[in-house]
Amino acid sequence: MKSSGNTYYDKMHRLGKFVTVGSILVFCGVPLVVCLYYGIMPKIGDLLLAAGGLCAIFIPTGVAEAFGEIPVMGSSYYVANVTGNILNLKLPAALNALKVANVKSGTEAADAITGLAVAVSSLVTLVMLLLGMLLMTPLEPFLSSPAVSTAAGYVLPALFGCLVLSFLSNDVGGGVIVKKRLLAAIFPFALCIILYLIIPDYYDLGQGFVMVICIPIVYVITKIMYKKGIITVEMPEEEKKTEEEHA
C-alpha cells in the first residue's frame, strides 16, 4: 500500500478540530438561543451547583478514556465524540471495521477505515433516532417493554463477546502475525479483576482511569517480552523485502 506521508494525519486532525469546534457551537448554540429568547439564562451559582458534581466525575473520566481510546480510534475520535456513545457503538464499530478490512493498526488505511466505520455508525444512529422520534407514540410500548429494557442493559457484553474473539487471533491485521502477545495481558487483566472485585462501583465509574493504568503496564511487559524474543512477529512478504532493503 502507498503512503502519502504525514500530511494525511495533519489534514484529518485539522478536519477533526473543525468538526469539534462546529459541534461545540451547535451544542451550546441551541440552549443559548432558547435561554436568550425566553429570558431563562441560568445564574452562574445555580449552574455550578447543578453541574459541579457532574463535572468533577465526568471530566476526569472523559479525559482518561480519551488516552485509552485515541490510539485505537485515531483521527476518527473527533467525530466519534460529536455523536457520542463511544464504548457501546463507535469503538466496537472501529474494531469490527479493522477486522473486516484486515488492515494493520497504526496505518493510514486503518485510520481511514476506522473513520468510515465511525461515520457510518453515527449516521445509522441519527436515522434510528429520527425514526424513533417520529414513531415515538406507536413504538413506546415496545421500547419500554421489559424485554427491550433487559436486552438494552446487556449491549456491551453482547458486542464485546464477538469482538474479543478476533482480538485473540495472532493475525493483527494486514497479514502481520504476532505470536504470544496475549501473555503480556495476563498481569494487567488479573489486576483489573482484583480491582473490580474489590471496588466494583468505583471501577465502573473510573473505567477510563483503569485503561490509563493498563496502557503503560501492557506496554512495558510487551516490550520486555518482545526484546527477550518471547513475543515474535512475522511481517507480510512485501514488508519483509522493504525491511531487508533498509537493512
Site for another protein in 124-143 (CB under 8 A): 124-126, 128-133, 136, 139-140, 143
* Residue listed under C-alpha cell 486503518: 110
Please tell me whether residue 4 binds another protein under the rule CB under 8 A.
Answer: yes
Neighbouring residues of 16: CB distance < 8 A, sequence distance ≥ 6: 75, 77, 78, 79
Residue 40 touches another protein, criterion: CB under 8 A: yes
Q: Which of 5, 7, 138, 157 is the binder for another protein (CB under 8 A)? A: 157
Long-range contacts of 237-244 (CB under 8 A, 24+ apart): 239/176
By CB under 8 A, name the one of 2, 5, 7, 138 that touches another protein: 2
Q: How far is the CB of 237 from another protein (least distance, A)?
A: 13
Among the listed residues 232, 234, 231, 229, the one whose alpha carbon sits nearest the alpha carbon of residue 186 = 231
Note whether 230 binds another protein by CB under 8 A: no
Which member of 5, 113, 199, 229 binds another protein (CB under 8 A)?
A: 113
Q: What angle do the packed helices 108-134 and 136-143 form, to 10 degrees?
A: 110
Least separation in angstroms between residue 166's CB and another protein is 8
Out of 31, 199, 224, 241, the residue judged to bind another protein by CB under 8 A: 31
Going by C-alpha positions, the residue among 106, 127, 225 that lies closest to residue 176 is 106
Residues 54-93 that bind another protein (CB under 8 A): 54-55, 58-59, 62-63, 66-72, 74-79, 81-85, 87-89, 91-93
Buried b (16+ CB within 10 A) or exposed e, 151-160: eeeeeeeebb
